[in-house]
């Protein structure tokens, strides 16, 4: 039977702290090549986030916090107060890299929270200690999500997921994939269907890469095939990740999640969101207050090819929001490290976050 050691051999850490740098998987090279990228300066971390070399809520939160570590590591002056002001300035710069995923701000703020202004040397040591703890704790949270989510999965089920909320979106093990990996280790016979997830194709490039390496039976479908699959009884459960969850349970996730939830509701298929509690933003009441990131239209018109040719005429216009908001009423439950909560009852875990 497959176990954690097996998965550790198959799935390397997405974000890893080394003595003087942060090591990440360059996700733009997958699935063709597994390439690791050294982040040595804080601008490297910002660039990796903006250029999608690292993506996924937990992973960019980890790299954002890593940017603070790198900024601190390379700081040469000795005044502790100036050092703290410098880190606060860098923190604001890092947080601007991606506006929707709340984990980015969470990671940066957590590593600096109540940092005592002592000496530059001691502050650097404390930042490194905190960063190491963040990485370890987040993996532990994912394992807990897997344990709770696994209780929902029965042998013989087919689970559909959207985008990549797998190990690559986290430090390791993932959120939406955590119940799947846990079911694998329990010996359950399951199948996974993957939305290809345009325009970056995170499902067909990244989640498929994870399924292939871990030996899970998977099938890729185009995003618009989901209605067909559900209406023909080919999906038993949906598990997706999240980039930002409002206090009422409204959830921002990769574009296409909302219509997926609507179809699951129509066909009475359970629809779960899996996310660490850091993804829940108790400062906002509804998803209407979540800022939705829009990216370059070239991702739609130029970067995708049809038989090596652009998919659209040269003068075509495009609209490229990369997240949408799924209303809480369409979500069966939200799986966190604290258990499975009704989407409109997240206040019950607020005091534990």
Do the beta carbons of residue 276 and residue 185 sit within 8 Å? Answer: no
Do the beta carbons of residue 165 and residue 159 sit within 8 Å? Answer: no
Residues 7 and 34: their CA atoms lie apart, in Å, by: 16
Give how far Cα 124 sits from Cα of 13, 139, 201, 338, Å. Answer: 24, 23, 39, 32
Sheet holding 323-326, edge to edge: 280-281, 244-246, 251-254, 323-326
Residue 225 CB contacts under 8 Å (≥ 6 apart), including other chains: none
Residue 264 CB contacts under 8 Å (≥ 6 apart), including other chains: 230, 235, 238, 270, 271, 330
- Any catalytic annotation for residue 243? yes
Signed CA dihedral, 147, 153, 154, 160: sign only: negative
Q: How many CB atoms lie within 10 A of CB 15?
A: 27
Residues 133 and 131: their CA atoms lie apart, in Å, by: 5
Tokens, residue 72: 């601190």
Do the beta carbons of residue 253 and residue 324 sit within 8 Å? Answer: yes
Signed CA dihedral, 142, 18, 56, 113: sign only: positive
- Exposed e or buried b per residue across 190-208, where buried means at least 16 C-beta atoms within 10 angstroms of its C-beta: bbbbbbbbbbbbbbbbbbb
Residues 153 and 173: their CA atoms lie apart, in Å, by: 17
Centroid of chain to Cα 176: 9
Q: Which of 195, 243, 250, 281 is catalytic?
A: 243
Q: Which active-site residues does the annotation give?
A: 243
């Amino acid at each position: 039977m497959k176990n954690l050691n097996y998965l550790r051999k198959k799935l390397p850490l997405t974000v890893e702290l080394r003595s003087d740098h942060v090591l990440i998987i360059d996700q733009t090279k997958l699935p063709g090549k597994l390439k690791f990228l050294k982040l040595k300066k804080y601008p490297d971390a910002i660039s990796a986030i903006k250029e999608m070399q690292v993506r996924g809520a937990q992973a960019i939160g980890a790299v954002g916090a890593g940017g603070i570590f790198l900024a601190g590591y390379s700081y040469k002056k000795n005044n502790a107060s100036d050092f703290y002001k410098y880190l606060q300035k860098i923190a604001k710069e890092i947080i601007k890299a991606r506006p929707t995923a709340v984990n980015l701000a969470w990671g940066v703020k957590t590593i600096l929270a109540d940092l005592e202004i002592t000496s530059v040397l001691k502050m650097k040591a404390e930042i490194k200690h905190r960063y190491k703890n963040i990485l370890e704790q987040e993996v532990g949270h994912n394992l807990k999500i897997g344990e709770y989510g696994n209780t929902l999965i029965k042998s013989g089920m087919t689970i559909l997921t959207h985008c990549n909320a797998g190990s690559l979106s986290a430090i390791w093990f993932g959120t939406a994939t955590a119940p799947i990996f846990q079911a694998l280790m329990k010996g359950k016979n399951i199948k996974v269907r993957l939305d290809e997830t345009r325009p970056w194709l995170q499902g067909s490039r990244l989640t498929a890469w994870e399924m292939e390496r871990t030996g899970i039976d998977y099938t890729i479908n185009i995003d618009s095939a989901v209605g067909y699959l559900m209406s023909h009884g080919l999906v038993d459960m949906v598990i997706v990740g999240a980039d930002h969850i409002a206090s009422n349970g409204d959830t921002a996730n990769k574009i296409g999640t909302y219509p997926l939830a609507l179809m699951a509701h129509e066909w009475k298929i359970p629809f779960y969101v899996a996310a660490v509690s850091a993804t829940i933003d108790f400062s906002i009441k509804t998803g209407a207050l979540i800022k939705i990131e829009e990216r370059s239209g070239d991702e739609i018109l130029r970067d995708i090819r049809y038989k090596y040719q652009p998919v659209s005429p040269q003068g075509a216009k495009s609209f490229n929001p990369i997240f949408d908001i799924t209303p809480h009423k369409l979500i069966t439950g939200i799986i966190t490290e604290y258990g499975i909560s009704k989407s409109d009852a997240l206040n019950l875990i607020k005091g534990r976050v």
